[in-house]
Amino acid sequence: MASRREVQDRAVRVIVTGGGTGGHVYPTLTTVRMLQAELAERGAAPAETLWIGAAGSLEERVARESGIAFRPVATGKLRRAGNPLRMITWANLRDAVRVPLGAIQALGIVRGVRPDVVVGFGGYVAVPVSVAARVGRRPMMVHEQTVRLGLANRMLVRLATRTALSSESSLALLPSGARARAEVTGNPVRPELFQGEPDRARKALDLAGFDADKPTVYVTGGAQGAKQINALVTQLLPWLLERANVIHQCGAADFDRQRETSFALPRELAARYHLTPYVGAEMPDVYALADLVISRSGAGTIAEITGLGKAAVLIPLASSAGGEQAHNAKYLEEHGAARALVGPLTPEDLRAALEPLLADPAARAEMAAAAREQGRPEAARTLAALILGVAGVAER
């Protein structure tokens, strides 16, 4: 293992791993970018960063588009079931072989690169890489994005040099030996999200028909949209548009159907409805304009709405692993930071949750303040500093 002085005399070498979903991939990307920014502020050379993930995956595409070196390894996932006997499937048996194969491949990479730190951001690909780091005697960190630990990270925190958590409540879930090595950093959120301006959203999206005297609701199901949320909001549209302006990010798959519905709206209401399949570079400005968010409750979304301090009505994805989204939503509701709508829902359920928030600016402000108390807007910087500390890079 390199000494602190040896690391100071050359570029720090970092391996990151994690993927499968955006909830693992985008915190990884945000952290890598902040890591480089932190080093630049310290007057140090940029980190030599390598991302290890699955071939043909989201993480490979994002890494290559971002100019980050990428190496693939074999990986496998455990498909869980209530009955243990139902877990004995060809897919699980096949992947049980792929995990040690991936660990052997990762060990070869780790021994070749000799990283100063390996950071796992969750997902099944993090398992073989993190095991390889431990076998190769390199410092290894784990970052957990969710309130409760994912299956992969529950295994890896026992091996980790340090564990970074997104929530204080996660500390109690760690094995006793791992708690002393844990730090609550929060979940990294892209810094540009905090630089939004409402007027830029109005201009970029041509929202001239929006009523400045009414609150603006941002409806999102994530990049792909959410059919459940789209259907619920569509059935409430006339009622909702009488009380609010709406930016509805519905996903590409539902866009044509949603547009047909919007054609039936009266002209006055249609002017307050902006439908889009995807929100890209305008996202910071859309958030800045929004008074209320209707969304899923994945870890990334939770980090954004709490970091920004936004009132929200959360509709968890029922099929999320381990019921994680429902847990996230209920946790915020318990702290007055959101409304959680869990289980089978009707449009009337959504209307009952929205009505008091749309009618009372003070209620929205109180919820937004409670959300902000749960947020950690400096999470990316805190996590980057922790990684550099484990890597042996001292502050200058």
Same domain, 312 and 322: yes
Q: What is the DSSP string of 58-71?
A: HHHHHHHHTT-EEE
Is there a domain that residue 383 lies in? yes
**And the tokens for 119?**
């950071």
Same domain, 204 and 235: yes
Is there a domain that residue 45 lies in? yes
Q: Judge whether 185 and 318 are in contact, CB under 8 Å.
A: no
Which pLDDT score, from 0 to 100, does residue 87 have? 47
Same domain, 295 and 386: no
Average pLDDT value for residue range 278-293: 96
The answer, yes or no, to whether residue 82 has pLDDT greater than 60, is no
The answer, yes or no, to whether residue 234 has pLDDT greater than 80, is yes
Same domain, 172 and 231: no
What is the spatial distance between Cα 111 and Cα 132, in angstroms, rounded to a whole number? Answer: 9
Is there a domain that residue 233 lies in? yes
Is there a domain that residue 396 lies in? no
* CATH at residue 268: 3.40.50.2000
Q: What percent of the chain clears pLDDT 70, i.e. is strictly above it?
A: 90
Is there a domain that residue 124 lies in? yes
Looking at the 3D structure of the chain, how many domains does it have? 2
Same domain, 145 and 238: no
Q: Identify the domain containing residue 259 by its residue range.
A: 191-374
pLDDT digits (tens, 9 = 90+) for 127-165: 899 999 999 999 999 999 887 787 778 889 999 999 999
**And the tokens for 346?**
């009707």
